[in-house]
Amino acid sequence: MFVVHSYPLAVVFCVLTMLCWGSWANTRKLAHKAWRFELFYWDFTIGVLLLTLVLGLTLGSAGTAGRPFLADLAQASGASIGSALLGGAIFNLANILLVAAIEIAGMAVAFPVGIGLALLIGVIVNYLAAPVGNVALLSTGVVLVTLAIVLDAVAYRRLPGGAAGVSTKGLILSVACGVFMGTFYRFVAAAMYADPAHAEPGKMGPYAAVFVFAVGIFLSSFIWNTLAMKKPLSGAPVGFADYFAASFSTHLTGILGGVIWGVGMSFNLIASGRAGFAISYGLGQGATMIAAFWGVFIWKEFRDAPDGTSKLLAAMFGCFLSGLALLVLARTL
């Protein structure tokens, strides 16, 4: 299988993860406005599953390093498969909770609380499990990226309607999202062998692990997303008949979103062998700033913002880039 042998290339893969994780939601804007997120999400999970399977059968089966994709799956222990499946189910719940938190509390609460908490928990948990990198630089980098997320939230609150009161329910959903989003990665990492050049019996390489993870996302959607369809937080309930009534082009937007997100997750796990799980996860969660970039420069979400907002945005991107640089240096110093 194809593996990453150099740290600089691993960093490139993590940056690509950020780009993918911060950009996939744009496909939601391509769908019909009446197409509900709960229905879009089924196609998203299918896209992730298809992408990870294709990567496994291509890059995951090429070269001489490690085990080929299918052989790797066949020898994986029940504990490793179960851990990756659980990681997929936990991520899926966290992702749906994030959308629910945005619906109720808005981005100004959901992102700093949910994603900020996920970043802190994820880096700490993965570093304790596999301590790779300079802890001082890693910690400072995480603090700066978290500060950037908070500044992003403050900027959103300055938009018209952005200062609405925060409900207790929205805050609880944001916290729950952060806890689950911060822990899912460790279950996937636990199913993998750390060194891509030395395959361990029972453990999986990145291609098999991310595919099983994707299966976990898809299967758990029959629980989490079905509940969201029957008990939506906004709008009327929707059924599977609504899903199958949509056009192919409508379904394609969700599949494309899943493919983009799946590329990011796959590249992140491929890079983790050289970057370390804590650094890979920390760099990947910088995707919030990529999403902010889209909002600021492409979708012009801040064109009606009051004076002074541009300074907040500049400080946000400054903290993000500084934090990103420290996360990268944490593996080399």
DSSP letters for 256-292 = HHHHHHHHHHHHHHHHHHHH-HHHHHHHHTTHHHHHH
As for how many domains the chain has, the answer is 1
Give dist(CA 201, CA 290) in Å, integer. Answer: 38
Cβ within 8 Å of residue 133, ≥6 positions away: 127, 276, 278, 279, 330, 331
Chain segment 150-178, per-residue pLDDT in tens: 998 888 888 887 665 557 888 899 899 99
The amino acid that residue 13 corresponds to is: F
In a domain, residue 222? The reply is: yes
Beta bridge partners of 30: none
Looking at residue 234, the DSSP 8-state letter turns out to be: S
Instruction: Judge whether residue 275 has pLDDT over 70.
Output: yes
Chain segment 83-134, per-residue pLDDT in tens: 999 999 999 999 999 888 877 877 767 877 888 899 999 999 999 999 999 9
Report DSSP letters for 308-325, one per residue. Answer: THHHHHHHHHHHHHHHHH
Share of the chain above pLDDT 70, in %: 97
* Domain around 310: 7-329
Mean pLDDT of the chain: 91
In a domain, residue 1? The reply is: no
In a domain, residue 42? The reply is: yes
pLDDT the model gives residue 166: 58
pLDDT the model gives residue 33: 82
> CB count, 10 Å around CB of 292?
26
In a domain, residue 45? The reply is: yes
Angle at 95 between CA 94 and CA 101, to 5 degrees: 85
pLDDT the model gives residue 101: 84
In a domain, residue 2? The reply is: no
In a domain, residue 96? The reply is: yes
Instruction: Judge whether residue 315 has pLDDT over 60.
Output: yes
In a domain, residue 18? The reply is: yes
Give the Å distances, CA to CA, from 121 to 59, 142, 167, 289.
31, 10, 24, 18
Residue 192 φ/ψ, nearest 5 degrees: -110, 155
Picking from 286, 17, 22, the residue whose alpha carbon sits closest to that of residue 147 is: 286
In a domain, residue 235? The reply is: yes
Give dist(CA 37, CA 321) in Å, integer. Answer: 31
pTM: 0.92
> CB count, 10 Å around CB of 311?
11
pLDDT the model gives residue 163: 60
